[in-house]
Every structure is written in C-alpha cells, then in structure tokens.
Chains A and B, each alone.
Chain A
Amino acid sequence: MDRADNFLKMVTEASGQPVNLCFQCGKCSAGCPMIAEFDYPPNMVMRMVQLGQRDRLLASKAIWMCVSCETCGTRCPNGIKIAAVMDALRAECVAEGVKPGDRVTVDLHTAFTSNIKIFGKLHEATMLMLYKLKSKTISIDDLELGVKLLLRGKLPLLPGRSKNIKKVRELFKETGR
C-alpha cells in the first residue's frame, strides 16, 4: 500500500493534477478519440494510478496512444487534465527505461526531438527517413504520401536552423535528454 501511495503521489506531483478526485464517471473515456487503441481506457488508467499499478501502466500501450487532444480534461467534472497525467506516465516510462507498450510511437518522439537537437528547427525529410528506417514502419501508403508531399515542395531538402543552436542543445542537456 505504501508503494501505491507513493506512485499516486509521484504522478500527482509530476502532472500537477488531483488524481485522487477521480470518481470514475467515465466521461473521459466516453469522448476519447483514440480509445480503440488503448489497452486500458482513460478512466481505467486513472483508477490504476489511484491504486498504484505502476508496472502495468508504464508498460501499457494506452499511455503512448494518447495524442493529448485534451477532450477528456475539458469535460472532467473534477477538473483533472488526464492528458497531463499521461504525459507524466510517459516521462516516467522513459526515465525508468521501461519497455514501452508502443515502441513505434516512442521512436517517433525520439527521432523528432533528436532532429531538433541537431537543427533547432524540424527537418521533416531527415527525421521521417531515419524514423521510418529505425522503427521499420514504412508502408506503401507512407511512400506514396512522401512522394506527393515532395512533389509539392512540402518536404524541403535543406534544413532550417536556429541561430543559437547551442542554447537549444543546452535545454536538451539540462533535462537529461
């Protein structure tokens, strides 16, 4: 029970959300657009935080399939921003080196942030290429889309750059990334 309390406390602090107020009304799950991809629906995720089910949660697919659309938090009768709780769980999963429930999405986020670390501004071409190769998720649809975007000049070959890239990289370093 101690461990459960600790986990609830940790998530409450990290997310800044009053998770203990959740009374399982289910309105978050009712409006979630990604719920079909969740192994645990949003209201269940909240309950699991309350009950300290840390290992199951950090290894779940649910926390990575949430797109932070904030539909849930806008409607919660107790003012809990479930997306912020998901962010906290994601950060914990990565920080603790737990094998993520959806590898592909973590790869995307890693590829994206690494790209910014290099250029300061996103360079879609290199980011997408490296991401797709690493995660092995390339498909015909994707290739077709890539070509369409390229032909319309929507995937510039040259990256933009931030001038003070040093500062940007410091921000990464400072947060341990």
Chain B
Amino acid sequence: MKRIGVFVCWCGSNIAGSVDVDQAVAGALKLAGVVHAEHYVYMCSDPGQQKVKDAIEEKKLDGVVMACCSPRMHENTFRKAAGSVGLNPYLLEIANIREQCSWVHQDNKPVATAKAIDIISGTVDKVTQNLPLDTISIDLTKRVCVVGGGIAGMMAALDLACAGYEVAIVEREPAVGGHTAQISKSFPYFQELPVLLEKKIAEIEANPRIKVYLNSEVEELEGFVGNFKVTIRTKPDFVDHSVCSNCGKCLDVCPVSVPDAFNRNLTTRGAVYRYNQGDRRQLPVIEQGDCLHFSDNGCTLCEDACPENAVDLGAIRSTRQESVGAIVMATGYDIYSPANLPEYGGGRIPDVIDGMAFERMLDPKGPTGGKIIRPSNGETPKRVLFIQCAGSRDPERHKAYCSRACCMYTAKQARLYKQQAPDGIAYVSYMDIRSDSRDFEEFVQAGMEEEHLVYIRGRVAKVFSDCGILKAFTTDTLSGRQIELDADLVVLAMAMEAKSGIHELAKKMNVTIDGDGFLTETHIKLYPVESSTKGVFLAGCGQSPKDITDTVSQALATAGKIQTMFSNDTLIADPLIAEVHEDICSGCGVCIEICPYGARVMDDYKLISTVNQAVCQGCGACIAACPNKACDLINSTATQFIRVIDDFARKAEAG
C-alpha cells in the first residue's frame, strides 16, 4: 500500500493567485495512495523543506509529489531533502502547477484549480509506479590529455600536474609555445612575453607528470568521459634529440631554402631547421615535405655533416595510446592570410606585412634582430600605417566576426614602433577601438597622448606601391574626407581564423564546431569551457578569438573543472536513462544509429542492443525509434504515461 505525500506550494502569489490551494490539497487527499497533503507559501524555503522532511519521517511516506514550479528550478533541492531523511530521491516527483498551470490560466481560477488537481493526480499515479534508483558510478581514469601545446594547453597542464594528475600534451609543431612564442611584449604593461613563456616551458619540461608529444596529432579517440583512449600519431623529425649536441652544422649545409612560417616569411629556413630560429636551445628537426632526400632520393648532406650521427633519415612515424579521463582542446588559431586582401597588396607587396610578422621584427632574437624595418630595403620606416579589422568584421567577403585582440595589439605595436623611432609617424586605421579590460583604455589613450599615434577612423580602400613608397587611399569618416597617405610600411591586423584541420579533428573528438570552425561551448554564459561532449573541455582561441588573459583564464577554468571531476573516485551519472527489455529486443540496431551520443552498443554475443550507462543522457530518441517497443526510459516508462493518460481520459468521459 502506497503512502504518498502531496505538498502544494503557493509560490507567493504565483500559484496561489490562480490556484485555490485549499481545494488543491483537498483534491489531493481524495487520491488513492495519498496519506498526507498540505500547502505552504514557499516550499523551497528552509521551513518549507523542513515540512516535507517532517512529513516523510512522521507519516512514513514512501513517495512525494511537490506541486510547485518547474522541475528545472527545484527538483534537485527537493530530492536532496528527501534523500536526507532516508527517502530514495527518485521517489519524489514535481507536478508543475506554475509554468504549466497557474501562469497560463491567471484569468480563470476554477479552471486553474481543476487543472492543478489533474496534474497532481497524474503525477501521484506516476510516483506510485516509480522505482527507487541509485546513481550510476562510472570508473574514472584520473589522467588528462591536452590537445595543443600553446599557452592555453601549457597552463592547463601545469595546474593539473600540480594537482597531482598525469597529463599528456599533444602538440602538432616541433615545439611548444604556440603563437605566444612569436609575440614580443604584451599589452597593457609591455611585459616581456618570451621570458614568461620560457619560465612556463621550463616548468613543463621539469614536471615529471607532464609528457609532451611533439610533432604529434590525435589520430583517433575512443571511449567516453572518464574512460577515453587517445591514439597519438607522432611524425618523425629525423633527428635523434638524445644524441644531438645542437652544434648547428646540419643547418649550415642544407641546400633547401623555403619561407620560414614561424617568422611569417620574413626569412627563409632549410629543410633541417630550428622551429624558432632565434631560440638556440631548440634542437634541429627535419621537415619531410621540404627535404630533398625524400623527393630526389639522394641528399644526405646533413647526415654526413653531423658529428654525433644524430640524423636518422630512416625514422618512421610512431603511434601511442593514452588512457585518460578528460581532454582539453587547446588547439589555438591560424592567421588569415594577407593574400586574401588583394586591394591591400597582401602577399604581393613586400612592405605590406601582417601583425605577427611585425611581432617577429620586435624579437631581439628574431629575423631583424629586434629592429622594425622595411622588408624591401632593410631601412627603418619613417611612416607606418597599421590597418585594423583586416579580414575581420567583413561579413560579405571575409570573416563576419571581430577578432577581439587586434585593437589592443595594434596599439601596442604602434607604441613600440614610436618608442623605437620617435621621429616616425604611426597611423592607425580603425572602425572602433575595443579596449575593454584592466588598463586597456588607458593604454590606448596613452598611445595617442604620449606617442602621438594618429588614429584615423575609416577603412582603407586600397594600398599600392608607387616608386617604392606605399600609398594608401583611406578616409576619415569623422571629418568626412578622403585621405591619401604615404607610408613606408603597412601592418595588417589580420583576422584570427580557425586552425587548419579543425574540421577533421573535431569529428574525431566528437565535438561541435560553428560555421567559422571554432569549437562550440555548451552554454556561452554558464558553461563556457565545456564542449558538446562530456569530458572534453575547451580553452583559448580554438573556441573563439581572444587575448592571452582570457585564454589563460579559460585554461585554468578547464583545469579547475577537471579537478572537480577528479575529486571523486568515480563519476556519478543520473540513473534516469534508457533501459532495454532484453526479451523483446530483436537486435535490429535502429537505436544504435539514432543515438546522438553513441550510448547504444550492440552486444555481439547476445545479439541485442545495450545501453552504455555512463554515456546515455536519457534523451529518449532510441525509445521513440524502437520498432518493437523494447526500450524504455527508467521511471518514465510508456506504461506510466499510458496510465496517466487513461486516468485523464476517464475523468474527461465522466465530465
């Protein structure tokens, strides 16, 4: 015999204003199985919850119906309260008489009250058929894989390692550091980024819990949250770093000369090269695609020159597997190519460069020794034009979005130029100035006031070369004039775009991306670092363009989230998931195809479909799809709903 308690909440006047709570209680008491019913002004309050707890204990209730607001609000609250006094939480259900009743029938009290009683009646019946459930425990491998070894990946890895967890960083390039390694000084305090980065890289290398896979990419991802298996494929770099003495003789003899991407094509490199030519601690690597040995099948100049026999041109790629419980996607961004802007001579005029190339010039260990020069003749430019929004905020032809960091780094670059060449002129062509963090606005204003940066509001139409001088046709919308500018160097703040290969990678990782290729978060406000797949977290520009502060904030947030996940020994999953009636299941496999989470798995021995309890989200797709009705949702079975509908139908017939 059931002993159900019904608790009707006034919700102030939200419910009581339309529903007669006395009648609702009276109606509840008439229902079969209901031994207790009361109403109170705010059931979710402490005294309200206490009433529920007291009634459970005193009246020995074995089921509870809360007639109140939407379960989204307080289902957890009330279930916890029930659990605290020994009632299985899943024997408590919410009858929503607010959003689905009182709020929509505010003008008709009798109807609202009758409907509230009907809703309560249906819910009471459902509860009588509920099973007591335990949450599901999932095994948890407390190790992490971080995809991407830039600043985001490194910061997340360090926090996690310090918390005691092993981390595997998978980095595509021959060195960690990402784009941050290319940048000179940061805004707004002109701090030396290479020094900061070097410290972090040293920490990474020194930490025994962190394993870095260089020249590596994710080949495959299997498993689910808490139990991932990542297959990592490592390209050979053909140099045995354990014996290489970094003498550099191989670099001298290599006959190949290709544009050096790290230095944004300001200089060249060989097929054997240091990834960051200015960092002499980095060991040489060989890029197979550029190496003559692999195309012409012959050249062994570096191998011959090496005194340590460190060159191994026969090296092959390797594959490793890492078992982890959580993954951080810190894949970063690519720079939208200036060649996409032919009206600016991008890719054609040597003195038209992108912002990152300008950064490389500022590096004292960079291709120009720290001097800002005109690539065409090596002279110091007397007039530099910085163009913001190059490829960004251009829905018709390029990227519709704003790349967020350009206003600040352009101001920084312009200020650094003026500090290097105080007699020079720096023009900044802008549409808006987005300087919205601590000391950012002051930084930009200081540029205008102290370094006399000339900000011209308007987009540049065309840049071309005229007898060695660059001419720009632009406008100042504020004064309404067309302006023809002469410049020696033009710096384009090119848009940040999604990393190349992100579509394939996202597919492998089972995470969603948006139309621009950026990884999408679960909720932009509340869950900004979680991806669509449980256990996979997002940090940095791979999610959307941002500066280093926000990137690091996200990275640390993912580390925090993962530590929260790892704070238990197992993962707790909701038991309100799908279940299979094994004797009815015919093994047709429709549910397996339909499941958006990959939670349905065919048992090849029994030839029936099973539910992976750790992954199932209880969405109900397989239940609707099953042609044999072999599938049901626990505590929301078809039978339960049919009973409720029958009940309504009978009442309707009776009038």
Contact residue range for chain B? 20 to 34
**Contact call B458/A77, Cβ cutoff below 8 A:** no
Once the chains are docked, how many angstroms separate the CA of A76 from the CA of B431? Answer: 13
**Contact call B458/A29, Cβ cutoff below 8 A:** yes
- List A contacts of B475 (CB < 8 A): 26-27, 29-30, 41, 43
For window 391-406 of B, CB contacts with A under 8 Å fall at: 393-398
- List A contacts of B343 (CB < 8 A): 31, 75
Question: What per-residue 1/0 map shows which CB atoms of B423-464 lie under 8 Å from chain A?
Answer: 000000001000000000000000000000000011111100
**Contact call A30/B461, Cβ cutoff below 8 A:** yes
CB distance from B483 to the nearest CB of A (A): 8
**Contact call A71/B461, Cβ cutoff below 8 A:** yes
Once the chains are docked, how many angstroms separate the CA of A24 from the CA of B343? Answer: 19
- List A contacts of B461 (CB < 8 A): 27-32, 71, 75
Once the chains are docked, how many angstroms separate the CA of A40 from the CA of B389? Answer: 25
Once the chains are docked, how many angstroms separate the CA of A36 from the CA of B398? Answer: 29
- List B contacts of A43 (CB < 8 A): 458, 475, 477
A27's nearest neighbour on chain B, judged by CB, is B459
Interface SS of B by simple majority: loop
- A79 interface residue (CB < 8 Å to B): yes
Once the chains are docked, how many angstroms separate the CA of A32 from the CA of B458? Answer: 13
Checking A30, A71, A75, A79 against B458 with a beta-carbon cut-off of 8 angstroms, the contacting residue is A30
CB distance from A46 to the nearest CB of B (A): 11
A77's nearest neighbour on chain B, judged by CB, is B394
- A110 interface residue (CB < 8 Å to B): no
- B473 interface residue (CB < 8 Å to A): yes
**Contact call B480/A76, Cβ cutoff below 8 A:** no
Once the chains are docked, how many angstroms separate the CA of A44 from the CA of B477? Answer: 8
Once the chains are docked, how many angstroms separate the CA of A109 from the CA of B242? Answer: 81
- B72 interface residue (CB < 8 Å to A): no
- List A contacts of B123 (CB < 8 A): none
For window 473-519 of B, CB contacts with A under 8 Å fall at: 473-477, 480-483
- A162 interface residue (CB < 8 Å to B): no
- List A contacts of B474 (CB < 8 A): 26, 30
- A172 interface residue (CB < 8 Å to B): no
Checking B395, B431, B473, B481 against A41 with a beta-carbon cut-off of 8 angstroms, the contacting residue is B481
For window 597-631 of B, CB contacts with A under 8 Å fall at: none
**Contact call A29/B431, Cβ cutoff below 8 A:** no
Once the chains are docked, how many angstroms separate the CA of A30 from the CA of B493? Answer: 18
- A78 interface residue (CB < 8 Å to B): yes
Checking B396, B460, B462, B480 against A77 with a beta-carbon cut-off of 8 angstroms, the contacting residue is B396
CB distance from A101 to the nearest CB of B (A): 17
Once the chains are docked, how many angstroms separate the CA of A75 from the CA of B461? Answer: 7
For window 111-163 of A, CB contacts with B under 8 Å fall at: none
Once the chains are docked, how many angstroms separate the CA of A64 from the CA of B242? Answer: 75
CB distance from A164 to the nearest CB of B (A): 41
Given A35-B482, A36-B482, A27 and B460 touching (CB < 8 A)?
A: yes
Chain A CB within 10 Å — which of B476, B477, B481 has the most?
B477
Chain B CB within 10 Å — which of A26, A29, A41 has the most?
A26
Given A31-B473, A41-B481, A43-B475, A26 and B458 touching (CB < 8 A)?
A: yes
- A25 interface residue (CB < 8 Å to B): yes
CB distance from A3 to the nearest CB of B (A): 24
- List A contacts of B398 (CB < 8 A): 77
**Contact call A29/B396, Cβ cutoff below 8 A:** no
- List B contacts of A76 (CB < 8 A): 396
Given A24-B477, A25-B431, A26-B477, A79 and B460 touching (CB < 8 A)?
A: no
Once the chains are docked, how many angstroms separate the CA of A78 from the CA of B459? Answer: 13
Chain B CB within 10 Å — which of A35, A40, A41, A79 has the most?
A41
Chain B CB within 10 Å — which of A28, A29, A31, A32 has the most?
A29
Given A25-B431, A76-B396, A30 and B459 touching (CB < 8 A)?
A: yes
**Contact call A41/B396, Cβ cutoff below 8 A:** no
For window 1-53 of A, CB contacts with B under 8 Å fall at: 23-32, 35-36, 40-41, 43-44
Question: What per-residue 1/0 map shows which CB atoms of A47-75 lie under 8 Å from chain B?
Answer: 00000000000000000000000010001
- What is the size, in residues, of chain A's interface with B at 8 Å between Cβ atoms? 22
**Contact call B457/A26, Cβ cutoff below 8 A:** yes
Once the chains are docked, how many angstroms separate the CA of A23 from the CA of B392? Answer: 13
- List B contacts of A27 (CB < 8 A): 458-461, 475
- List B contacts of A41 (CB < 8 A): 475, 480-482
Question: What per-residue 1/0 map shows which CB atoms of A95-108 lie under 8 Å from chain B?
Answer: 00000000000000
**Contact call A29/B477, Cβ cutoff below 8 A:** yes
Once the chains are docked, how many angstroms separate the CA of A43 from the CA of B461? Answer: 13
Chain B CB within 10 Å — which of A24, A31, A36, A44 has the most?
A31
Chain B CB within 10 Å — which of A40, A71, A75, A77 has the most?
A77
Chain A CB within 10 Å — which of B343, B396, B457, B460 has the most?
B396
Once the chains are docked, how many angstroms separate the CA of A77 from the CA of B389? Answer: 11
A47's nearest neighbour on chain B, judged by CB, is B477
Once the chains are docked, how many angstroms separate the CA of A31 from the CA of B462? Answer: 7
Once the chains are docked, how many angstroms separate the CA of A71 from the CA of B475? Answer: 14
CB distance from B488 to the nearest CB of A (A): 20
Given A31-B473, A43-B477, A77-B393, A25 and B459 touching (CB < 8 A)?
A: yes
- List A contacts of B480 (CB < 8 A): 29, 40-41, 44
Once the chains are docked, how many angstroms separate the CA of A96 from the CA of B343? Answer: 39
Given A26-B477, A30-B473, A30-B482, A79 and B459 touching (CB < 8 A)?
A: no
Checking B396, B477, B481 against A79 with a beta-carbon cut-off of 8 angstroms, the contacting residue is B396
- List A contacts of B460 (CB < 8 A): 27, 30
B400's nearest neighbour on chain A, judged by CB, is A77
**Contact call B477/A78, Cβ cutoff below 8 A:** no
CB distance from B487 to the nearest CB of A (A): 14
**Contact call B397/A77, Cβ cutoff below 8 A:** yes
CB distance from B618 to the nearest CB of A (A): 43
CB distance from B43 to the nearest CB of A (A): 49
Once the chains are docked, how many angstroms separate the CA of A172 from the CA of B480? Answer: 38
CB distance from A74 to the nearest CB of B (A): 9
A32's nearest neighbour on chain B, judged by CB, is B482
B462's nearest neighbour on chain A, judged by CB, is A31
Given A26-B457, A30-B459, A32-B482, A78 and B473 touching (CB < 8 A)?
A: no
Chain A CB within 10 Å — which of B343, B458, B459 has the most?
B459
Chain A CB within 10 Å — which of B394, B481, B483 has the most?
B394
Once the chains are docked, how many angstroms separate the CA of A39 from the CA of B482? Answer: 12
For window 361-415 of B, CB contacts with A under 8 Å fall at: 389, 393-398
The list of the 8 closest CB pairs from A to B, nearest first, reads A31-B461, A26-B458, A30-B461, A79-B396, A77-B394, A27-B459, A30-B475, A26-B475
Contact sample, A vs B, 27 pairs, CB 8 Å cutoff: A24-B477, A25-B389, A25-B393, A25-B431, A26-B457, A26-B474, A26-B476, A26-B477, A27-B459, A27-B460, A27-B461, A29-B475, A29-B482, A30-B461, A30-B473, A30-B475, A32-B461, A35-B482, A36-B482, A41-B475, A44-B480, A71-B461, A77-B393, A77-B395, A77-B459, A78-B396, A79-B397
Residues of A within 8 A of B (CB): 23-32, 35-36, 40-41, 43-44, 71, 75-79
A23-B393, A27-B475, A77-B459 known; 15 other A-B pairs, CB under 8 Å?
A24-B477, A26-B431, A26-B476, A28-B461, A29-B475, A29-B482, A35-B482, A41-B480, A41-B481, A43-B475, A44-B480, A75-B343, A77-B394, A77-B398, A79-B395
